[in-house]
Amino acid sequence: MHQDSSPGDDEGGRGSIEAVLFDFHGTLAQLEPLTRSVSLAAEACGRSLSPLSVTALADAIGAQGWLGSGLEARVRPDFADAWADRDLDEDAHREAFTALAAQAHGVFEGLAEALYDRMASPEGWVAFADTMSTLVALKAQGYPIALVSNIGFDARPVLRHLGIDRFIDAWVLSYEVGFCKPDEKIFYAACHALDVEPSRALMVGDSVADAGAGRIGARCYLLPHAEAGRAVGLEAVLRLVRAGV
């Protein structure tokens, strides 16, 4: 662990931030456009859809609150238990999201399952334009990094496919550790894994749940929404860690 210091007065100009915790979805990467996922999922079911049909299906599924839609999920009682446990259990995660998609108008047999498979596949994700450069710079400056994610499947293959898994020093995934953000325990687990005091950590995310790190004294930075492949504002992280804010 780095030596304690006041902001901005470390050797080499280093601030008081000693480690960075990153959320996954919406922070380092985004799901591919839903129209692409729907088209490929339909092909996996042996269906070739017209662009108009793909758009209509994607709109209907997105309206249910599909991951990345920004809408509140429309959870029916028959899968409410699975939805509540989706980030703590792999089977519950699959059940919850397939049921969510299956209730959308126009969804045919097998499509919801194929769509989930696409979401859980490494090929279904796109890194933000400023992800790689930010992680490269942080590692070059010696900052340890943890991935802290509410997720019901293994994110490691996704980040490996995107070429950014090598920058992650600790993986703190909710379904593996048994806690979900904003529970303080998941942030403590990340800080412990990196051997850093919470007050010396910066949590970077895109939701109120990520801001839960503030409860243990960590600094927090929340990103705006950005489409897949665009810059999301991660370059600000480099300024924040140097300033020790």
Q: Are residues 118 and 195 in the same domain?
A: no
Q: Are residues 149 and 216 in the same domain?
A: yes
Report pLDDT digits (tens) over 89-105.
999 999 999 999 999 99
Give the end of a domain, one of 75, 95, 124.
Answer: 124
Q: Are residues 186 and 102 in the same domain?
A: no
Going by pLDDT thresholds of 50, 70 and 90, the confidence category of residue 242 is: confident
Q: Are residues 103 and 166 in the same domain?
A: no
Going by pLDDT thresholds of 50, 70 and 90, the confidence category of residue 245 is: low
Give the end of a domain, one of 124, 146, 173.
Answer: 124
pLDDT above 50 (res 7)? no
Residue 162: give the domain boundaries. 11-28+128-243
Which residues are within 8 A (CB) of 71 and not within 5 positions of it... i.e. 6 or more apart? 62, 63, 64, 65
Q: Are residues 164 and 136 in the same domain?
A: yes
In a domain, 48, yes or no: yes
Instruction: Give the count of domains, the chain.
Output: 2
In a domain, 1, yes or no: no
CA distance 18 to 20: 7
Span 3-25, average pLDDT: 64
> What does pTM read for this prediction?
0.90
Report pLDDT digits (tens) over 142-175.
999 999 999 999 999 999 999 999 999 999 999 9
SS3 221: strand
In a domain, 2, yes or no: no
CA distance 42 to 115: 8
In a domain, 22, yes or no: yes
